[in-house]
Structure 1
Amino acid sequence: MGPRFHTDLEAVYRDMRRDHGPVVPVTLPGDVPAWLVIGYHELCRVTADPVLFPRDQGLWNQWETLPEDWPLRPMIGTRQPSVYFTVGEEHRRHLAMVQHALESVDHVGLRRTTEEIADRLIDSFCSTGESEIVSAYAKPLPLLTLARLLGFPDSDGPELIRSLTDMADGGPDALAGFEHALALMSRLVARKRAAPSVDMVSAMLAHPDEFTDEAYVLNLMAVTSAGFLPTADWIGNSVRLMLTDERFAASLTGGRHTVPEAMNEVLWEDTPTQILAGRWAARDTRLGGHAIARGDMLLLGLAGANRDPAAHATRGPDGPHHSNFAHFAFSHGEYQCPFPAQEIAEVIARTGIEVLLDRLPDLELAVAPRTLARRPSPFLRGMTVLPVRFATTPPYGGH
Structure 2
Amino acid sequence: MTSPDGHTAVPLSGPRFQTEPAQLYREMRRDHGSVVPVLLDGDIPAWLVLGYRELHQVTGDPALFSRDSDLWNQWDAVPENWPLLPMIGRKQPSILYTVGERHRQRAAMIGNALEGVEATELIRHAERFADELVDSFCDKGSAEVIGDYAMLLPLRVLARLYGFPDEEGPGLVTALNDMINGREGALAGQSHLAGSMQRLLAEKHAEPGDDVISRMLEDDSGFTDEEIMQDLMVMMAAGHQPTADWIGNSLRLMLTDGRFAASLFGGRHSVAEAMNEVLWEDTPTQNVAGRWAARDTVLGGRHIRSGDLLLLGLAAANSDPQVRVDGAAFTGGNNAFFSFGHGEHRCPFAAQEVAEVIARTGIEVVLDRLPDLDLAVPAESLTRRPSPWLRGLTSLPVRFTPTPVLGDAGR
One of 348, 352, 358 as aligned partner of 1:338: 348
Other-structure match for 2:240: 228
Q: Does 1:293 align with 2:305?
A: yes
One of 372, 382, 385 as aligned partner of 2:382: 372
One of 343, 359, 363 as aligned partner of 1:353: 363
Deviations for 1:62-103, whole angstroms, at most 9, x for unmatched residues?
Answer: 223222222222222332333211000110111111111111
Counterpart of 1:108 in structure 2: which amino acid?
T
Alignment of 1:245-260 (within 5 A): 245-260=257-272
CA gap 1:212/1:182 in 2 versus in 1, 3 angstroms: same
Other-structure match for 2:329: 319
Q: Is the 8 Å Cα contact of residues 321 and 327 (structure 2) preserved in structure 1? A: no
Q: Does 1:99 align with 2:111?
A: yes
Other-structure match for 1:78: 90
SS, match of residue 38 in structure 2: strand
Q: Does 1:112 align with 2:110?
A: no
Mean CA deviation greater in 164-173 or 129-138: 164-173
CA distance in structure 2 between the aligned counterparts of 1:47 and 1:172, rounded to whole angstroms: 36
Q: Is the 8 Å Cα contact of residues 252 and 361 (structure 1) preserved in structure 2? A: no
CA distance in structure 1 between the aligned counterparts of 2:301 and 2:328, rounded to whole angstroms: 32
CA distance in structure 2 between the aligned counterparts of 1:104 and 1:177, rounded to whole angstroms: 29
Mean CA deviation greater in 54-63 or 111-120: 54-63
Other-structure match for 1:391: 401
Q: Is the 8 Å Cα contact of residues 272 and 381 (structure 1) preserved in structure 2? A: yes
CA distance in structure 2 between the aligned counterparts of 1:104 and 1:319, rounded to whole angstroms: 34
Gaps of 5+ in 2: 1-12
Query: How far apart are residue 160 of structure 1 and its match?
Result: 3.4
Query: How far apart are residue 175 of structure 1 and its match?
Result: 6.8
CA RMSD of aligned residues (A): 1.9
One of 381, 384, 389 as aligned partner of 2:391: 381
Query: How far apart are residue 153 of structure 1 and its match?
Result: 3.2
Q: Does 1:199 align with 2:211?
A: yes
CA gap 1:5/1:123 in 2 versus in 1, 3 angstroms: same
Query: How far apart are residue 287 of structure 1 and its match?
Result: 1.1
Q: Is the 8 Å Cα contact of residues 55 and 86 (structure 1) preserved in structure 2? A: yes
Other-structure match for 1:56: 68
Alignment of 1:12-23 (within 5 A): 12-23=24-35
Query: How far apart are residue 215 of structure 1 and its match?
Result: 0.2
Q: Which has the higher helix share?
A: 1
One of 7, 15, 19 as aligned partner of 1:7: 19
CA distance in structure 2 between the aligned counterparts of 1:259 and 1:176, rounded to whole angstroms: 37
CA gap 1:376/1:161 in 2 versus in 1, 3 angstroms: farther
Query: How far apart are residue 167 of structure 1 and its match?
Result: 4.6
Identity level (%): 60
CA distance in structure 2 between the aligned counterparts of 1:240 and 1:23, rounded to whole angstroms: 31
Query: How far apart are residue 180 of structure 1 and its match?
Result: 4.9
Mean CA deviation greater in 149-158 or 204-213: 149-158
CA distance in structure 2 between the aligned counterparts of 1:224 and 1:333, rounded to whole angstroms: 21
CA distance in structure 1 between the aligned counterparts of 2:188 and 2:339, rounded to whole angstroms: 28
Gaps of 5+ in 1: none
Q: Does 1:138 align with 2:150?
A: yes
Deviations for 1:319-378, whole angstroms, at most 9, x for unmatched residues?
Answer: 312321110010111111111111111111111111111111110011011111112232
TM-score by length of structure 1 reads 0.94
Deviations for 1:92-146, whole angstroms, at most 9, x for unmatched residues?
Answer: 1111111111111011110011001111100110000000011111111111000
Q: Is the 8 Å Cα contact of residues 168 and 377 (structure 1) preserved in structure 2? A: no
SS, match of residue 286 in structure 1: strand
Mean CA deviation greater in 66-75 or 156-165: 156-165
Q: Is the 8 Å Cα contact of residues 55 and 87 (structure 1) preserved in structure 2? A: yes
Q: Does 1:160 align with 2:169?
A: no
Q: Is the 8 Å Cα contact of residues 252 and 363 (structure 1) preserved in structure 2? A: no
Counterpart of 1:326 in structure 2: which amino acid?
A
Counterpart of 2:287 in structure 1: which amino acid?
I
CA gap 1:309/1:176 in 2 versus in 1, 3 angstroms: farther
Mean CA deviation greater in 37-46 or 166-175: 166-175
Mean CA deviation greater in 160-169 or 114-123: 160-169
TM-score by length of structure 2 reads 0.92
CA distance in structure 2 between the aligned counterparts of 1:166 and 1:64, rounded to whole angstroms: 31
Aligned length: 397
One of 195, 209, 215 as aligned partner of 1:183: 195
Other-structure match for 2:99: 87
